[in-house]
């Protein structure tokens, strides 16, 4: 992968939590490198630190030690507002629980991230409609999340993650709340986005899923990178 | 600033918790409606006082005998013609006029009413000037007119005093004697003053020779020195009546002083009620803050989602401030509307009853002020919850179930 642009890099990143008198080392000095256009999975059993890693990769949280680079810029010391602006522009999130806003329609949910980036209303709604069509939900724009199935909600979440045309899509257990067939559809959407050049970072506990689609898999255990597997895709 | 989706998001959240929103709005609404109602009545009364004090009454001083009842009804203490002459001789007094007051029986067919008849000197009508009224219809009396009267404006209307209103030149029976209606006065705005009968002094003395004490003496004085002149009149009368200071059987007061006393009392009452209104709005603000804190707790996870998809702390702050301000706006608008409807109905009723001087008055600042106050109250009560929402840790919020 040499010669590719580095999008996200974690250098000796640690995240420690204080639990009473004890220190929990959720991550203990990990290095992760995500290049442009790669499909990267972060794998590991429960408690391995993969969710913490995802929060750091997605600039949702700040490390206790180490540095995080986004487009070669050290963001470890960025203010919360700068981080919000940055992730709104550069990173799209897909969550296991879908995390749509229940009081907004599918179209409004998709348009919302664009509002925070200052896009005009007409731009937002036009883009939202395009993205709805892209996830095959062109006729569901005015539906509220509770009027959609789990798979449909996750497709709305995918559309929302693409609203600001981010470089990186960060998916945290995107199939965790879906049946196998629906999960397959969701992963194929991610695969398509990857083929279109998007950088995908997926957190999963499913080794088969990770190995099938990923260029690079980071295997975490007890807050450390246990191994890294790379695959040349067919 | 929050965009359309943000506004929709806020409004739908308020709608979703409609019971809570309703009670929050209701609490601000009551306070704003109370403030609107009392300020509008206060404005009406202050305007009435301004109108009187700014008019011909500004240079008048009233001298009355002390007594427990209305002028002319309590004859324990008297003001006589010799008192009038003494007052007339005081430096700074330009002219004086005494008025006799008496309760008389008025009859129209089988109907009988009792009202005041007040004497005045047509060539020196200080009592009418002090009320700042003149003859609106018909002719003023002349000093030589006998058997003629001028009536208050209520006599013109059917059903106000008698079932049938009077016209110019109609006959009116007063204490079983017939008088001719020469004219009608302009309306003063309260039923008692508008139901009085005026007669020239000579005719009064001929008709009621037993009434020898003036109900009131009015003096026109040097306006620039009115307080000094009041003191001089007091001193002169004390000397004339051989009375000690503090034990006088009369009192002397300038109109300005009288109105100031009314105005001060009025400001006190209106101010007190407005303070009660403001306290109720403050209580409402605490209620709003409570509503917003609950909203923040309920939407803890949503706030995390909004931050994850790019909302800055300031944007979260804006969303919650918008919600609390919007509650204030709705409550303010409804409070103003309710206040306006209530005071308007009251105005129509008061005017119908002849109490037009009590009618409320509106101005644009009353509307704008109440609305701004409601919105600012909502916004202020939302500040602490909004700050709390904006500082929520994104990762903790996303984990929250």
Q: What is the spatial distance between Cα A189 and Cα A208, in angstroms, rounded to a whole number?
A: 17
pLDDT of residue B54: 62
Q: Which tokens is B89 given?
A: 């001789």
Per residue in A35-70, pLDDT (tens digit) is: 999 999 999 988 889 889 999 999 888 899 999 999
Per residue in A79-95, pLDDT (tens digit) is: 888 888 888 889 999 99
Domain boundary among B215, B233, B254: B254
pLDDT of residue B248: 83
Asked whether the predicted pLDDT for residue B68 surpasses 60, the reply is no
Asked whether the predicted pLDDT for residue B111 surpasses 60, the reply is yes
Say how many C-beta atoms besides its own lie within 10 A of residue B35's C-beta.
Answer: 27
> Whole-number mean pLDDT of chain B?
86
Segments forming the whole domain that contains residue B334: 4-53+260-399
Confidence of residue B130 (pLDDT cuts 50, 70, 90): confident
Identify the CA nearest to B145 among candidates B114, B121, B113. Answer: B121
Which residue of B4, B9, B395 is in closest CB contact with A101? B9
Q: Are B241 and B83 in contact (CB under 8 A)?
A: yes
Same domain for B248 and B265, yes or no, is: no
Q: Give percent helix, percent strand, percent coil of chain B, each to the nearest 5.
A: 55, 15, 25
**Residue in chain A nearest B302 by alpha carbon:** A101
pLDDT of residue B288: 85
The residue-averaged pLDDT of B118-125 equals 86
pLDDT of residue B50: 75
Q: Does residue A78 sit at the B interface (CB-CB below 8 Å)?
A: no
Q: A103 vs B9: CB contact, 8 Å cut-off?
A: yes
Q: Is A54 helix (H, G, I), strand (E, B) or coil?
A: helix
E-strand spans in B316-385?
none
Could you tell me which residue, B348 or B264, shows the higher pLDDT?
B348
Q: Are B133 and B55 in contact (CB under 8 A)?
A: no
Contacts of A99 in chain B (CB under 8 A): 301, 305, 308, 398
% residues pLDDT > 90 (chain B): 29
pLDDT of residue B72: 58
Same domain for B183 and B148, yes or no, is: yes
A3 Cα to chain B: minimum distance (Å): 30
The residue-averaged pLDDT of A91-106 equals 91
A116 Cα to chain B: minimum distance (Å): 6
The residue-averaged pLDDT of B335-360 equals 90
Number of domains in chain B: 2
Q: Does residue A98 sit at the B interface (CB-CB below 8 Å)?
A: no
Same domain for B130 and B171, yes or no, is: yes
Contacts of A160 in chain B (CB under 8 A): 309
Contacts of B314 in chain A (CB under 8 A): 81
B274 Cα to chain A: minimum distance (Å): 39
Asked whether the predicted pLDDT for residue A1 surpasses 50, the reply is no
Lowest mean pLDDT among A141-145, B177-181, B241-245: B241-245
pLDDT of residue B74: 62
Per residue in B272-283, pLDDT (tens digit) is: 888 888 888 888
**Given CA atoms A165, A93, A60, A127 in this order, what sign does their dihedral have?**
positive
Q: A116 vs B395: CB contact, 8 Å cut-off?
A: no
Same domain for B235 and B366, yes or no, is: no
Same domain for B177 and B275, yes or no, is: no
Residue A155's Cβ-side half-sphere holds a number of Cα atoms within 13 Å equal to 23
Domain boundary among B211, B226, B254: B254
Contacts of A58 in chain B (CB under 8 A): 308
Q: B313 vs A121: CB contact, 8 Å cut-off?
A: no
Confidence of residue B55 (pLDDT cuts 50, 70, 90): low
DSSP assignment of A126-153: HHHHHHHHHTT-TT-TT--GGGS-HHHH
Paired with B174 in beta bridges are B106, B177
Domain boundary among B254, B284, B299: B254
- Is residue B303 packed enough to be buried (19+ CB in 10 Å), middle (13-18) or exposed (0-12)? buried
Q: B312 vs A116: CB contact, 8 Å cut-off?
A: yes
**B250 dihedral zone (left: phi>0; alpha: psi -120 to 50; beta):** beta
Cα angle B78, B81, B86 (rounded to 5 degrees) comes to: 100
The residue-averaged pLDDT of B345-354 equals 87
% residues pLDDT > 70 (chain A): 97
Q: A113 vs B309: CB contact, 8 Å cut-off?
A: yes
pLDDT of residue B360: 92
Q: Which tokens is A218 given?
A: 């980071």
E-strand spans in B282-376?
none
Per residue in B233-265, pLDDT (tens digit) is: 999 989 998 888 888 888 888 877 777 777 788
Contacts of B302 in chain A (CB under 8 A): 101
- Is residue B264 packed enough to be buried (19+ CB in 10 Å), middle (13-18) or exposed (0-12)? exposed
Contacts of A49 in chain B (CB under 8 A): none
Identify the CA nearest to B377 among candidates B7, B30, B43, B41. Answer: B30
Q: Does residue A117 sit at the B interface (CB-CB below 8 Å)?
A: yes
Q: Which tokens is A107 given?
A: 């179209």
Same domain for B370 and B295, yes or no, is: yes
| ipTM value for the complex | 0.90
A207 Cα to chain B: minimum distance (Å): 24
pLDDT of residue B75: 62
Same domain for B156 and B176, yes or no, is: yes
Same domain for B271 and B393, yes or no, is: yes
pLDDT of residue B53: 67
Could you tell me which residue, A108 or B123, shows the higher pLDDT?
A108
Q: What is the spatial distance between Cα B384 and Cα B324, in angstroms, rounded to a whole number?
A: 11
Asked whether the predicted pLDDT for residue B140 surpasses 50, the reply is yes
Q: Are A70 and A166 in contact (CB under 8 A)?
A: no
Which residue of B3, B9, B310 is in closest CB contact with A85? B310
Same domain for B200 and B280, yes or no, is: no
Same domain for B270 and B344, yes or no, is: yes
Q: A58 vs B308: CB contact, 8 Å cut-off?
A: yes
Asked whether the predicted pLDDT for residue A234 surpasses 60, the reply is no
Confidence of residue B109 (pLDDT cuts 50, 70, 90): confident
Same domain for B341 and B235, yes or no, is: no
pLDDT of residue A62: 86
Asked whether the predicted pLDDT for residue A13 surpasses 60, the reply is yes
Q: Does residue A177 sit at the B interface (CB-CB below 8 Å)?
A: no
Domains of chain A in start order, with CATH, are: 36-65+77-230 (3.40.50.300)
pLDDT of residue B6: 76
Same domain for B110 and B250, yes or no, is: yes
Contacts of B398 in chain A (CB under 8 A): 60, 95, 99
Q: Does residue A107 sit at the B interface (CB-CB below 8 Å)?
A: no
Q: Which residues contact B195 (CB under 8 A, 6 or more apart)?
A: B115, B152, B154, B155, B160, B161, B354
Q: Does residue A111 sit at the B interface (CB-CB below 8 Å)?
A: yes
Asked whether the predicted pLDDT for residue B70 surpasses 80, the reply is no
The residue-averaged pLDDT of A162-169 equals 93
pLDDT of residue B292: 86
Q: Is B75 helix (H, G, I), strand (E, B) or coil?
A: coil
Cα angle B385, B390, B396 (rounded to 5 degrees) comes to: 105
Lowest mean pLDDT among B22-31, B42-51, B52-61: B52-61
A209 Cα to chain B: minimum distance (Å): 24
Lowest mean pLDDT among A185-199, B63-77, B267-281: B63-77
């Amino acid at each position: 992968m040499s010669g590719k642009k580095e999008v996200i890099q974690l250098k000796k990143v640690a995240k420690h939590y204080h639990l009473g008198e004890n220190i929990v080392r959720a991550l203990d000095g990990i290095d992760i490198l995500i290049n442009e256009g790669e499909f990267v999975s972060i794998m590991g059993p429960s408690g391995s630190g993969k969710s913490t890693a995802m929060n750091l990769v997605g600039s949702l949280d700040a490390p206790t030690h180490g540095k995080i680079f986004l487009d070669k810029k050290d963001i470890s010391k960025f203010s919360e507002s700068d981080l919000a602006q940055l992730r709104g522009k550069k990173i799209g999130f897909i969550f296991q629980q879908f995390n749509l806003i229940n009081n907004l329609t599918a179209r409004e949910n998709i348009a919302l991230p664009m509002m925070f980036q200052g896009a005009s209303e007409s731009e937002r709604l036009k883009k939202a409609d395009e993205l709805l069509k892209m996830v095959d939900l062109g006729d569901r724009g005015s539906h509220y999340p509770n009027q959609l199935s789990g798979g449909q909600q996750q497709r709305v979440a995918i559309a929302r993650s693409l609203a600001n045309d981010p470089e990186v899509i960060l998916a945290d257990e995107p199939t965790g709340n879906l049946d196998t067939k629906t999960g397959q559809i969701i992963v194929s959407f991610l695969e398509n986005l990857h083929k279109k050049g998007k950088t995908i970072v997926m957190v999963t506990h499913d080794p088969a899923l990770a190995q099938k689609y990923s260029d690079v898999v980071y295997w975490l255990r007890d807050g450390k990178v246990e191994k890294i597997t790379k695959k040349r895709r067919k | 600033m929050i965009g359309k989706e943000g506004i929709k998001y806020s409004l739908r959240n308020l709608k979703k918790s409609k019971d809570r929103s309703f009670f929050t709005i209701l609490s601000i609404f009551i306070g704003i409606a109370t403030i609107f109602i009392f300020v509008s009545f206060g404005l009406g009364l202050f305007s009435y006082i301004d109108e009187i004090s700014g008019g011909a009454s500004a240079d008048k001083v009233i001298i009355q005998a002390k007594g427990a009842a209305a002028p002319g009804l309590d004859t324990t203490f008297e003001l006589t013609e010799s008192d009038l002459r003494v007052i007339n001789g005081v430096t700074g007094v330009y002219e004086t006029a005494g008025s006799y007051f008496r309760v008389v029986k008025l009859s129209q067919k089988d109907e009988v009413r009792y009202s005041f008849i007040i004497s005045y000197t047509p060539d020196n009508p200080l009592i009418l000037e002090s009320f700042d009224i003149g003859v609106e219809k018909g002719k003023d009396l002349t000093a030589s007119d006998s058997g003629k009267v001028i009536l208050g404006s209520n006599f013109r209307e059917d059903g106000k005093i008698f079932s049938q209103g009077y016209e110019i030149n109609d006959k009116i029976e007063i204490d079983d004697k017939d008088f001719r209606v020469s004219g009608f006065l302009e309306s003063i705005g309260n039923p008692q003053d508008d139901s009085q009968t005026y007669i020239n002094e000579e005719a009064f003395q001929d008709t009621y020779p037993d009434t020898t004490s003036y109900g009131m003496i009015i003096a026109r004085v040097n306006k620039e020195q009115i307080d000094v002149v009041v003191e001089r009149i007091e001193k002169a009368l004390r000397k004339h009546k051989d009375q000690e200071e503090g034990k006088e059987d009369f009192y002397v007061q300038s109109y300005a002083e009288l109105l100031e006393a009314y105005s001060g009392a009025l400001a006190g009452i209106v101010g007190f009620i407005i303070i009660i209104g403001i306290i109720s709005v403050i209580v409402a603000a605490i209620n709003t803050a409570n509503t917003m804190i609950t909203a923040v707790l309920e939407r803890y996870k949503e706030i995390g989602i909004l931050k994850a998809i790019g909302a800055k702390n300031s944007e979260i702050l804006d969303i919650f401030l918008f919600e609390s301000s919007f509650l204030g706006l709705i409550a303010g608008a409804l409070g103003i509307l309710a206040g306006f409807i209530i005071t308007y109905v009251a105005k129509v009723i008061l005017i119908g009853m002849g109490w037009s001087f009590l009618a409320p008055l509106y101005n644009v600042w009353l509307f704008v002020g109440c609305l701004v106050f409601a919105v600012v109250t909502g916004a202020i009560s939302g500040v602490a919850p909004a700050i709390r929402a904006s500082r929520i840790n994104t990762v903790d919020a996303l984990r929250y179930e």
